[in-house]
Structure 1
Amino acid sequence: MQSRTRVFVGRLAGTGVFDPIGDRVGKVHDVVVLFRLVGPPLAVGLVIEVTGKKRVFLPLSRVTSIANGQVITTGLVNIRRFSQRSTETLVISEILDRRVTFKDGSGGATVIDLSIEEYRRADWRIRDVYVRADKNGPHSGETMIVPVGELTGLATGKEGQAATALLARIAHLKPADVADVIRELPGDRRLAVAMALNDERLADVLSELSDDEQVAIMSDLDLDRAADVLDVMQPDDAADLVAELPAGQAALLLERMDPEEAEDVRRLLAYDERTAGGLMTTEPIVLGPDATVAHALASARRTDVTPALAATIFVTRPPLETPTGRYLGVVHLQRALREPPSTLLGQIIDTDIEPLEPEASMGSVARRLATYNLTALPVVDESRLLLGAVSIDDVLDHLLPDNWRTTDDDESDMRVERGHG
C-alpha cells in the first residue's frame, strides 16, 4: 500500500512552489481549509505569494508533490489576487493559537500546528492537531499530537485568541510586509496582532496601511495605547491618521498625546492635506552652520529618519526645532560624504534650493522635486523660518490612487481554476 503524504502546515509556510520544469512560481503563504458538518475538515488549496508579493489561490488538485522542502504543481497559476470566501478558513492566519477543548473532558489546549494528509488523489484532509495543553488541566502544559476528531472548537475561534504563532512569523518582516499580512486577517485577529506589537512597530505598520485600515485598528485600541502609538509616529503620518478619525475621538487622542507631539500634529492639521504644509514632516534633520560633517552623518544614521529625508540636512539658525531660526540652506548627504569629518556645514551649504511656501500645491511640490532630482524640500514661513520638509515618499503616497497598496497593475495569462465550490 502506498504511504500517504502528510504535511504539517507550520513547516509548509514559506516553502517554494515550482512548476513541472523546475521554475519557481512563488512560495506558500497559507493553507485554505473547509470545515464540514460531518467528517474531518478538507484542505482545498494553498495561498501562494508570487511576484510582486501578490497572493493567489492554488488548488491542491493541481499539486503533484509536496516533499523535500518544495511544492510541485501542474499547469499555470492565475495571478488574480486571492479573496477569501466566507466558508473558508486560513490555517496559519486563523487557526494557529486557537483555543480548543478535548472531547474527553480533560481540559483545553492551544493549537500550535496541524497536519494535512492526502487520502486519495486531490483529497486532502486535516488529520492531526499539535497542541499545548492548559497548565491547569490534567495534562499540565504538555505538548501532544491529537487526532482532529478528538477536539472541539477548531472550527470557531474563541474570544481572546492569542497571536503567538503569527507574531513569530512576522517578527523579521519589514513594516510593509507586516501590513500585507495584517490586511488579510479577520478583524479580531488583526486586533490581536496589533495589540501585541510594541508602539514603534505598530506605528511603522500603520503607516503602510490604508486610511480605512488605520482607522479600524486605532478605533479598537484603548485611548492611552492609541495616543502612545501616535506619539512615536512621524508627525505627518500621525496628522494624516488623526484627520481621518471622528472629530470627538481625534480631540481625545490629542489630549492624551505628549504635549509637544500633539502640538506638531495640530500644526500640520491646520494645512490642507494636498499642500506642502499638509505633506511635510516637522522632524527633518536640522543642524546649525557650525555643526560638523561628522555630526551630520551621525544624524543621517538615525533609525527614525526615512532614507528620503536622510539624504538632506537642513541648515538653520537656532533654535533647531521646527519652527526653527532663519533657514540658510541644505547640505546634501552625498556632498558631506566627500568632505573631511571636521568640515563645518556652513562651508558646504547649497543655497540654490528655493524653499516652498506652506500653501504650495502638491503638483508644484512634485514638479520641483522632479526638476532638481531631489528627495526632500524645505518648507518655510514668510519670515523664512523652517517649518518642516516634504519628502518624495510622502508626495508619492498622495499622488497614487487611494488603493495603490492593494491594487494589481499587471495581469498575466497564467491561469488555474478555483478548485472548490
Structure 2
Amino acid sequence: MDFIKVASLSELPEGSSKIVKVKNSKVALFHFNGKITAIGNACLHKGGPLGLGCIEKKYDGTYVTCPWHGWEYNIQTGTAPPGYKDQQAVYEIKIKGDAVLISEEPIIKAKKATHDLSALDDLIHLKYQTTATSINILGISTTNMNDDLVRFSTSENALEKALAYATEKYGAETKMIKLRQLNFRHCEGYYSQHMNACTWPCSVTEMDVKDGMTQVYRDMVLWADVVLVATPIRWGNASSLYYKMAERLNTVQNQITLKKKILIQNKVAAFIITGGQDNIQAVAGQLMVFFTDLGFVFPPFSFLGWSRGWTAEDMDKNVLQFKKSEYIKRTTKEMIDNCVETLSQIKKRDIFKIIAPKPHRQDSLSADIDNPEMNI
C-alpha cells in the first residue's frame, strides 16, 4: 500500500488534531495518548468535520464528538460507542523522522449502520395529508401561562372562537396547539456552523422524536391547509414562545436554500394579535415576513388586532371589554371567511410552478472556495 506525507510532527503536537486531504477524501488526524491515528473526517450522519470535534476519554477508549450533532467515534478504531454499529474509515499511519505518512486508502472502510427513524417516516418522505377539497385549520396559541393557575387569554380565546366558527360554517377539521404545553428544545444553532447542519427533519427532532416541535412540524407542514397563529403582545413584540417556535422552523425554510424544495405547499396563514399595549402592526409585520419566507399565502386583511393603548394598565377591564366586544366576535369570523376563500383559490395552483426567489447555496460569493476544514 502506498503512503503519502500529510504533515510533520511539529504540526501535530500531543493533544491536537488536524484535517488533511488524501486523494479526494478529507481525513482527521489525532495525536493523543502518545499515538497518531487517522479516521475519515466526514461524520457518517450529515458530514460534519470530525477533525474539529472535542476529544474525550470515555466508554472504552478515546472518542471524538462531531461538532454538528454529537455523533461519536473512537479515534483509533473508528467505531461508534458501545451499542452502536457505525464504523468510520480508518487509515494507517507511519512516522518517518519528522514526517507523518498516511495510507492512500483506508485499511478499514466506512460503514453507516441502519438507524430506526420510522417514527419520523411521514416527515422524511413528506406524506402530505391535505387534499384538493380539505379544509384543515391549525391554530397555534403562543401565549404563556401556568396551566395550574389558568388565566383568561385574549389571544387564545379569539383563536378558539375562530376555530369554532370554521367548524360550524365550513365543516373544517380543526386542531389547536398550545405551545406552552409542548416540551421542546430551543434551536441549537447548527446552521451557524454550516447550512448542511440544519436538516429536515430538524436535527433536534431526529435526536429526540418526542421533542414537542415534532407535532408542530407534522401538523403545520403535512396536515394543515390554514395556519392561524395567535400571540399576545409582550413589550412590543410577539410572545417569547412564538420566537422559540420560529427559530426551530428555520429547518423548513432551509430546505429552499439546500435543495430548492418548498415544503409549505398551497397553505394560508393569518394572525391574531392582542395586548394591552399598542404595537399590533409592527408585530403583524414581523409575523408576515417570516411566514411568507416559509411559503405561506395571506388573505386580504390577514391579521386581527386588539389593543387598548399605552395607558390602559387596568388589565381586568381589558378582559371585560374583550369579552363584550362585538368587534372580536365579528372579525374572528371574517378572518376565517377570508382564509377559506383564499384557500379555495390557491388550491387550484400548480405548486410546481411556484418558484422561491431565495438565496441558494451556489449564490454565495464564497461557494467555490474550498474550506479545508469542511467536507462539502
Pairwise same-fold verdict (TM > 0.5): no
Structure-2-length-normalised TM-score: 0.30
Q: TM-score, normalised by structure 1?
A: 0.28
